[in-house]
Homo-oligomer: A and B are copies of this chain.
Amino acid sequence: MTTDFTATRAAFDLPEGMIYLDGNSLGPMPKSAAARVAQTITAEWGKMLITGWNKAGWMEQPAKVGNRVARLVGAEPGSVVMGDTLSIKVYQALASALEMNPKRRVILSDTGNFPSDLYMAQGLVRTLGPDYSLKTVAPEDVLAAIDDSVAVVMITEVDYRTGRRHDMAALTARAHDVGALAIWDLAHSAGALPVHLAAEGADFAVGCTYKYLNSGPGGPAFIYVAPRHADRVRPALSGWLGHEAPFAFEPGYRPGAGIERMRVGTPPVLQLAALEAALDIWDQVDMADLRAASLALTDQFIAGVEAACPTLTLATPRDHDRRGSQVSFRHPEGYAIMQALIARGVIGDFRAPDILRFGFTPLFIGAPEVSRAIEVLAEVMQGTLWDRPEYRTRARVT
């Protein structure tokens, strides 16, 4: 298929005059989202009540929606299921991977990983006991640090601050060479670039849907388990909807078939309906087209900003293969600069201590918006417009 970005753009509702470069934090609203969720509420919950679990297919929704996400991340059909939050899915994947590699006790990650992934690992390590540990190294040192002490390598493919992209194929192969497993967090990959979980041999993957996938605030997470492992994983979060027969109400847990066992509790039906509205758009997108468009936008932004704003330092790798779909610049006054930009309708975000982040999502951003964003950023920097008290006051940053 050839992606029609004019059509995808028409499917989103964005405030007039806003240039939204923060889809890597919270994606914008598909025009169909409110009606889709209202339909689920009134025609399904309202009319079917309890029978909606079967009649409206709520019970199958996590696997059915998971299959639509699977295509976007290069996963086999039946290998992805939706539910919970990304932090919970990180815990599930880690606990399962450690149990599959019982002679080893080290989780390896990097200091560029999203803090919640590290926090969840810290909590799990404490629960497992003093033999276990989380080891973090600098992002560029991960490959060399994968040795035969490592049980599982847990890496976020694209760095949330810099947009630096890890080499999934190489790190996964190295992990397997030394007898370790690889967990990939796709928070900044799913919907941002082509991902090849199956082809590159990932053991587990997790991700969220409220960023590039545009499922809205609190959208459900997903988990991938490689089919070669799915029937031998023993879930630590062994909830009833991951049971082989949830409605038999047996006293003992028996894991369900394959990926179904990674379900825990009742699925978030309303959030899933909003995600389905977004996936109606994604179903029309070819990931190679998306990547080509994304690279054109990020190249244009890097070149334009570097030409117009010499005091900003690029934090994102220039090499196409080493970056995601965001561009970050560093500046000691990054916070105030971002506030000044936002006041002028260019929405990016700030990450401490000095990172200005801009996400580029071809589904609703084109070259004209990138040009305009560069102009506004140049105005802000040239005039030191950012150097005003109202931009320096720190409200809580999200």
Taking Cβ atoms with an 8 Å cutoff, the residues of A that contact B are: 13, 15, 18, 20, 22, 25-26, 28-29, 33-35, 37-38, 41-42, 44-47, 49-54, 58-59, 84-88, 91, 95, 111, 114-116, 118-120, 122-124, 126-129, 136, 161, 208, 210, 216-218, 220-221, 234-241, 243, 247-253, 264-272, 274, 347, 349, 351-352, 395-398
Contact = CB atoms under 8 A, between A and B. Distances in A.
Contacts of A396: 54, 59, 247
Given A88-B237, A129-B129, A267 B45 contact: no
A262 to B, nearest CB: 12
Copies of this subunit: 2
B29 A37 contact: no
B274 A270 contact: yes
Given A126-B236, A216-B270, A49 B37 contact: no
A243 B119 contact: yes
Contact of A265 (B13, B35, B86, B251): B86
Contact of A271 (B129, B218, B240, B352): B218
B217 A45 contact: yes
Nearest to A277: B41
B274 A237 contact: no
- Please give me the 3 A-B residue pairs with the lowest Cβ-Cβ distance, nearest first: A85-B265, A116-B240, A123-B238
Contact of A127 (B128, B217, B352): B128
A272 B45 contact: no
Nearest to A355: B249
A353 B318 CA distance: 64
B270 A37 contact: yes
Given A29-B46, A84-B85, A398-B247, A95 B41 contact: no
Nearest to A86: B265
Contact of A22 (B18, B50, B86, B111): B50
B237 A120 contact: yes
A26 to B, nearest CB: 5
A355 to B, nearest CB: 10
Given A84-B84, A249-B351, A352-B249, A52 B217 contact: yes
B115 A237 contact: no
Contact of A266 (B45, B210, B241, B269): B210
A124 B253 CA distance: 12
Nearest to A41: B34
